[in-house]
């Protein structure tokens, strides 16, 4: 059974500064509670942003990007991005409560029972966390159980789609799904396409000759085949590719690669409102590659939005340079315009 520990941050601030009770807050004030819930033995920490009191309304679960990306969208590689916190604030401005959480291996959640065997953390563990999170949200007194939505970014969209088709005991019905810059195919296929494009760009720029390019592609494709067939990975790969696939993460990578987003999309209940975004500047969710996923979602009430010059962390930056991800900035107005239409549809 889920256990919740709350600290209403806004209310505490009022108490400390003014010495008055939390009951003096306006009924429509938004507060952020620090909460915890159990996910198969892992204590997950998160932020529940909601209106003061228990008046029921729509609520959304926010699922962050892949890797060590926490509840706010901050990443141990790219830095303090904050895009998921901004999304939560946007939703509350439009009357939608939200839950965002630190996935396993991030923030206050940490590795928990996986501390001694972190290689066992794969896609199934992330999905278990997402299922526990949406159940927690559904059980909140202020949640209108007929209006629960899920928004995922990047690889988080895989888990969002899994929730939309979850018919297991206790699974809440998902009213709407936001697929923001999603994985449009199997994980290793997408990486292979990116490797080929990057290598071709290096040849064009004179940084590699064709023989070197062919060697890099051959090494990578052989590693992909090895991972899929044997569940193992080479100790070393050229051009920094070992950061993507290595003996330490191969189990998690193979588990993610086994998931076909097109099959998940096809299983979402008919007529479910779905927002699907892509960008001409996003190397991970380029609009040129999104057609198969959009086709798989044809049976839903699909809103496909092609963003221009928007990077993978949902900000205006046509370079999509990872080094720019943590630069302060608002969510792209193109995205918020799409969200406005989607929420109000």
Q: Which residues pair with 37 in a beta bridge?
A: 44
**Distance (Å, rounded) from C-alpha 342 to C-alpha 345?**
5
The answer to whether domain 9-186+260-343 has CATH 3.40.30.10 is no
CB atoms within 10 A of CB 309: 16
Q: Which two tokens stand for residue 78?
A: 């790219």
- Which phi and psi angles does 98 have, rounded to 5°? -150, 155
Q: Give just the sign of the alpha carbon dihedral 34, 38, 44, 47.
A: negative
Q: Which two tokens stand for residue 236?
A: 């070393």
Q: Rounded to whole angstroms, what are the CA distances from 67 to 31, 74, 139, 172, 217?
A: 28, 10, 28, 26, 24
pLDDT in tens, the chain (345 residues): 433 444 333 332 332 333 333 445 565 789 999 999 999 999 999 999 999 887 899 999 999 998 789 999 999 888 999 999 999 999 999 999 999 999 999 999 999 999 998 888 888 999 999 999 999 999 999 999 999 999 999 999 999 999 999 999 999 999 999 999 998 888 899 889 889 988 998 999 999 999 999 999 999 999 999 999 999 999 999 999 998 899 988 988 898 899 999 999 999 999 999 999 999 999 889 998 899 999 999 999 999 999 999 999 999 999 998 889 999 999 999 999 999 999 977
Terminal-residue alpha carbon distance, the chain: 35
Report the run of H or E that residue 70 belongs to, with start and end: none
Report pLDDT for 220. 96
Cα dihedral value 110, 191, 232, 261, nearest 10: 70
Q: Are 297 and 274 in contact (CB under 8 A)?
A: yes
**Distance (Å, rounded) from C-alpha 51 to C-alpha 96?**
9
For 144, the 3-state DSSP assignment is strand
Report pLDDT for 103. 96
- The pTM score is 0.85
Q: Are 211 and 219 in contact (CB under 8 A)?
A: no
Report pLDDT for 24. 53
- The pairing of strands 30-39 and 42-51 is antiparallel
Report pLDDT for 53. 82
Q: Rounded to whole angstroms, what are the CA distances from 335 to 59, 110, 184, 248, 315?
A: 19, 31, 19, 36, 8
Domain ranges of the chain: 9-186+260-343, 187-256
With both helix axes pointing from N to C terminus, report the angle between 250-257 and 123-138 in degrees, rounded to the nearest 10. Answer: 70
Which residue is associated with the tokens 């892992």?
A: 42
């Amino acid at each position: 059974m889920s256990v919740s520990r709350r600290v209403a941050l806004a209310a505490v601030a009022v108490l400390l500064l003014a010495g008055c009770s939390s009951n003096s807050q306006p009924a429509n004030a938004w507060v952020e509670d620090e909460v915890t819930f159990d996910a198969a033995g892992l204590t997950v920490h998160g932020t529940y942003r909601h209106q003061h009191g228990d008046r029921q309304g729509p609520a959304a679960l926010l699922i962050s990007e892949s890797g060590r990306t926490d509840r706010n969208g901050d990443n141990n590689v790219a830095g303090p991005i904050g895009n998921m916190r901004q999304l939560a604030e946007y939703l509350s401005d439009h009357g939608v409560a939200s839950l965002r959480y630190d996935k396993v291996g991030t923030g206050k959640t940490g590795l928990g029972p996986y501390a001694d065997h972190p290689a066992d953390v794969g896609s199934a563990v992330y999905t278990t966390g997402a299922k526990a999170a949406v159940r927690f949200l559904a059980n909140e007194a202020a949640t209108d159980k007929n209006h629960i939505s899920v928004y995922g970014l990047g690889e988080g969209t895989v888990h969002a789609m899994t929730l939309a088709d979850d018919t297991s005991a206790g699974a809440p019905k998902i009213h709407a799904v936001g697929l923001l810059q999603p994985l449009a195919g199997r994980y290793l296929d997408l990486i292979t396409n990116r490797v080929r494009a990057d290598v071709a760009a290096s040849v064009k720029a004179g940084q590699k000759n064709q023989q070197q390019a062919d060697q890099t592609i051959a090494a990578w494709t052989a590693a992909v085949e090895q991972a899929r067939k044997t569940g193992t990975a080479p100790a070393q790969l050229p051009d920094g590719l070992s950061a993507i696939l290595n003996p330490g993460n191969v189990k998690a990578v193979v588990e993610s690669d086994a998931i076909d987003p097109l099959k998940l999309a096809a299983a979402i209940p008919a007529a479910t409102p779905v927002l699907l975004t892509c960008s001409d500047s996003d190397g991970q969710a380029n609009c040129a590659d999104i057609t198969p996923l959009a086709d798989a979602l044809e049976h839903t009430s699909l809103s496909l939005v092609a963003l221009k010059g928007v990077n993978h962390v949902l900000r205006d930056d046509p370079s999509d340079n990872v080094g720019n991800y943590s630069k302060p900035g608002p969510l792209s107005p193109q995205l918020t315009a799409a969200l406005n239409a989607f929420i109000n549809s």
